[in-house]
Each structure stands twice: as structure tokens, then as C-alpha cells.
Amino acid sequence: MTEPLGAGAAKAGRVRLNIGEVLDRLRPDFPGVTIPKIRFLEDKGLVKPERTPSGYRKFSGEDVDRLRYVLRMQRDHYLPLRVIGEHLDAIDRGLEPPPIEPVVPTVPTVSLAADGLPSPESFSRRDNVRLSRKELLKIAEVSDELLTQLEQYGLVTPRTGTGHYDTDALVIATTARELADFGFEPRHLRAFKTSADREVGLVEQVIAPQKRGRDASARARAQDTVSEIAALSVRLHATLVKAGLRSV
């Protein structure tokens, strides 16, 4: 259980520490902390040490506890300083701070039509999700070996120039893992990629005349067309597969 803020000060009496001594107390748990970092947190109002007549900072045990709380919330829960400040304000007023939920990257929910198939809006929507390889492995619950094979067969690729993965990579990796439970290997899934590439080629042929338009409205119409055709092609593909499996 987390020790209440201020408990350290109560135990240590009216201890007063200079900033170097505070650094020595924090570094065993937070090796990356520095004196400029402590000063920055002070500037943000998260800790308010006393000042001597000559201007030197003197930190109490409670100040050290507050710094530990801030650093732990940043390191373990990735909370922004604004939110941490709200937590500290609640604690100062005798309230319980909000519970800290386990932090994992989240991705937008894909908009689906009533029949369960992607709508045109889901193809036009773009997000800024960027996942590291470690995060992708954890969220998709795939092994490093499986992800490597998916990359070798061109099914999953990081964003060009960033090394990060997007929502599409997450969905593909998750789906591949679920198909693996039925004996599908990445080499088997290459057929899906080949089929998708053919469909993309057909769409590009249709919208090529619109893309040649120089005005913004022409480009916008081209993007709308892409979204509409993409949704229709997925509907057709899914329905053909469903129809073909009726006799299985």
C-alpha cells in the first residue's frame, strides 16, 4: 500500500534537506532524476520547498514524498504533469486521488456498418497511433517470431522512416495470431496479401483520372471515391467467401 504523502516528514521530524541531499534520496529509486528535473518540477508548482534568507532551497520530508509521487506517476503510469498536479491538489484537500488504471496504449475503435462490415468512414478515418515493436507484441499478444514472419511476408510493415507500427499493423498481427490457432502460418496468409494488392490496383485504376485534378476539391472527391470502393470491395469479398463456404 502506498504510504500517505507527508508520512516521511512525520517520521523524520522537521528535517530540511538541500537539493543535493534530495537527489541522493531519490536516485536509488529514480536513477534518471537530476537537479534540473527537480527544479523544473518546482517551477511547475508540484513541490514548494522553503527558501532561506539567502535564497537556498530547503526541502522537507513531505517535499521528498511529493517528488517521489510525481516521479512514480510519470514513470509507471505516464501521467502528464497537469493530471499529477490535480492528484496532488486532491491529496492536499484531504481527498483520495482517482484510482490509477493499468496503462496500455489504446487505439481508436473501427467504425463498422450494421452488417458488421467496414463502412466507407472506416477507410477514410486516419489516426495517429504509433506503437513500438514491444508495444505491438504485447497488445496483439503475438510472439517476436510470428511478427518477424509477418514482416518477412510483407503482411506487417512499420511506418516509413519512423519504425513505429499503426492500427492496421495491430489488427493484422492480432488476426494472424487468431488464425494461427487454426493452423494458419504467415506463409499461408501471403495469399490474402496478394489478393488485397490486386484489389488496391483496381481501385487505383478507377481513381487515377480524379487524382490528376490539381484543385483540393478533386483530391477530396478522389479520397471519397477510394473509401466508397474500398467498402464495397470488402463487402463483395466477404460475401463471396461466405457464399463459397456454404457447401463446406
Residue 143, domain CATH = 1.10.1660
Domain, as residue range, for 23:
7-92
1 located within any domain? no
pTM (predicted TM-score): 0.52
Is residue 115, in this structure, part of any structural domain at all?
no
Please report the pLDDT score of residue 87 as a whole number. Answer: 93
pLDDT in tens, 181-223: 899 999 999 999 998 889 888 888 888 877 776 666 767 777 7
Instruction: Return d(Cα 17, Cα 63) in angstroms, integer.
Output: 10
Q: Examine the domain organization and report whether 146 and 227 are in the same domain.
A: yes
The mean pLDDT of the chain is: 83
CB atoms within 10 A of CB 224: 15
The tally of domains found in the chain comes to 2
Q: Is the dihedral of CA 192, 198, 200, 203 positive or negative?
A: negative
- Is the same domain home to 83 and 124? no
Same domain, 191 and 241: yes
CATH number for the domain including 11? Answer: 1.10.1660.10
Top-confidence residue, 142 or 240:
142
Residue 160 CA to residue 127 CA, distance in Å, equals 16
57-87 pLDDT, tens per residue?
999 999 999 999 999 998 888 888 999 999 9
Tell whether 157 and 59 lie within a shared domain: no
